[in-house]
């Protein structure tokens, strides 16, 4: 699947695709059992790229990256010259592409890159719309414009390599891995060393892999931000509750933000459930595995589509049909101590899990909680926005290394908007529905432009 994406989406040259295909050692430090023992350490592309991403996008790296993105986002909102009076915009998605997506790209590659390539972010989203075409494996003569766009994006990335490499200062100031004057972030600079050492990997191959990283950084994060804003601001009662949570926070830049608002976590999870249809890749390492009435042979691959799992009426709580799984419900992932019907699981599943609980003490500790809380307990195999987790013996399920960062970015940017601005959707009586042509490839986006108006809030708590 990795080779599939690199070859069809990012147009990696044959030598790079061959290097990717040869590496069957896996993404963990210890090579996978039965993998090719002749693969040199420098050619373990999966492990090298995965470990570098985990190092940069987990722990303290998440907090620092999020702070830089929030700073850039606030600067762009200031430059938009929004006032205490309403300003109308025709397209919420386009607005957030400029404010949020461009900021995320800038944090990765640095402001000099975007100054030299001012249309890169716009082209990146045009490329995103081309992905369903590429996924069909259509030859380039049928999609010449899309192919030229990919080449143009990679050429801009390669030109950046040359300029950054010639910089006199190759070190991050004050040890900040997200403020490298040449490369933008230490992550991007370190990938140069990792990828250029791989046999068969040339400049075009590195650019294809980096294009994949930049696209992956925004392709699902941005639509999740857009849907979160839509669902928060379309319901005044939800907005009031979220705003109260935000105003009670010590700081929306705090690393503990995801734990500060269970409701916002629930909204985030519900957006991923309702608008996400990603494929999760699973395989078995040592022996065959039973998947229901099917057998998954050792070493073979299977795909699980989250969209089907997310719409399984036998699993999800709808409160007896009051909140159907086809509609957004902000509290679907919330558990309220005094409400036995709350939580993401329906009554039948909850009863079964209680009957078969393996650890009654843990159950008692959970039920003793006196505050409302966010919960994904019991959703293994049913909620798979990032690859998730399936508790089947022998199963390996590949999980997105940037999932913690994505959650932080969505919650932080939405918190900033809720705290600092009033926003009203201006779609009239037209319902906002999702466009499903990219099924399985990324988060759905609104089918039509979502007009809105926005203004600064007069009274804002300073954090």
Residue 16 near residue 205 (C-beta atoms within 8 A): yes
Residue closest to 417 by CA, chosen among 169, 33, 70, 19: 70
d(CA 343, CA 334): 5
d(CA 115, CA 307): 39
Count Cβ atoms below 10 Å from residue 177 Cβ, excluding itself: 17
Who's near 127: CB < 8 A, 6+ residues apart? 146, 149, 150, 153, 215
- Find the radius of gyration of the CA atoms of the chain: 23
Count Cβ atoms below 10 Å from residue 21 Cβ, excluding itself: 12
Axis crossing angle, helix 203-219 with helix 14-22, rounded to the nearest 10: 70
Q: Say if residue 400 carries a ligand binding annotation.
A: yes
Residue closest to 405 by CA, chosen among 277, 218, 250, 271: 218
- 421: which DSSP letter? E
Annotated binding site for heme: 400
Annotated binding site: 400
């Amino acid at each position: 699947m990795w080779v599939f994406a690199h070859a069809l989406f990012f147009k990696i040259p044959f030598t790079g695709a061959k290097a990717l295909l040869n590496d069957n050692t896996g993404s963990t430090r210890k090579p996978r059992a039965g993998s090719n023992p002749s693969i040199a350490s420098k050619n373990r592309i999966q492990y090298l790229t995965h470990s570098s991403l985990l190092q940069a996008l987990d722990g303290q790296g998440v907090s620092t990256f999020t702070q830089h993105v929030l700073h850039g986002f606030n600067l762009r909102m200031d430059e938009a010259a929004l006032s205490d009076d309403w300003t109308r915009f025709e397209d919420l998605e386009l607005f957030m592409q400029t404010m949020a997506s461009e900021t995320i790209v800038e944090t990765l590659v640095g402001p000099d890159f975007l100054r030299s390539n001012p249309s890169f972010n716009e082209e990146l989203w045009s490329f995103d719309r081309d992905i369903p075409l590429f996924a069909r494996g259509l030859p380039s003569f049928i999609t010449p414009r899309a192919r030229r766009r990919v080449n143009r994006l990679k050429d801009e990335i390669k030109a950046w390599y040359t300029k950054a490499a010639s910089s006199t200062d190759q070190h991050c100031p004050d040890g900040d891995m997200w403020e490298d004057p040449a490369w933008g972030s230490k992550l991007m600079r370190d990938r140069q060393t990792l990828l250029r050492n791989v046999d068969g990997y040339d400049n075009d191959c590195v650019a294809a892999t980096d294009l994949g990283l930049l696209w992956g950084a925004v392709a699902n994060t941005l639509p999740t931000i857009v849907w979160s804003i839509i669902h928060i601001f379309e319901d005044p009662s939800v907005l009031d509750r979220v705003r109260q949570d935000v105003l009670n926070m010590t700081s929306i830049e705090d690393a503990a933000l995801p734990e500060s608002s269970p409701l916002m976590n629930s909204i985030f999870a519900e957006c991923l459930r309702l608008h996400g249809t990603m494929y999760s890749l699973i395989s078995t390492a040592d022996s065959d595995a039973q998947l229901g009435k099917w057998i998954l042979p050792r070493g073979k691959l299977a795909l699980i589509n989250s969209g089907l799992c997310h719409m399984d009426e036998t699993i999800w709580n709808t409160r007896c049909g009051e909140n159907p799984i086809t509609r957004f419900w902000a509290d679907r992932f919330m558990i309220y101590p005094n409400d036995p019907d709350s939580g993401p699981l329906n009554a039948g599943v909850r009863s079964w899990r209680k009957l078969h609980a393996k650890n009654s003490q843990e159950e008692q500790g959970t039920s003793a909680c006196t505050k409302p809380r966010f919960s994904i307990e019991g959703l293994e195999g049913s909620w798979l926005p990032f690859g998730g987790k399936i508790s089947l013996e022998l199963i390996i399920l590949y999980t997105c290394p940037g999932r913690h960062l994505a959650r932080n970015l969505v919650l932080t940017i939405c918190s900033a908007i809720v705290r600092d601005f009033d926003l009203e959707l201006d779609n009239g009586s037209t319902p906002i529905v999702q466009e499903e042509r990219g099924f399985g490839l990324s988060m759905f986006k609104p089918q039509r432009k979502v007009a809105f108006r926005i203004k600064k809030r007069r009274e804002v708590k300073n954090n």
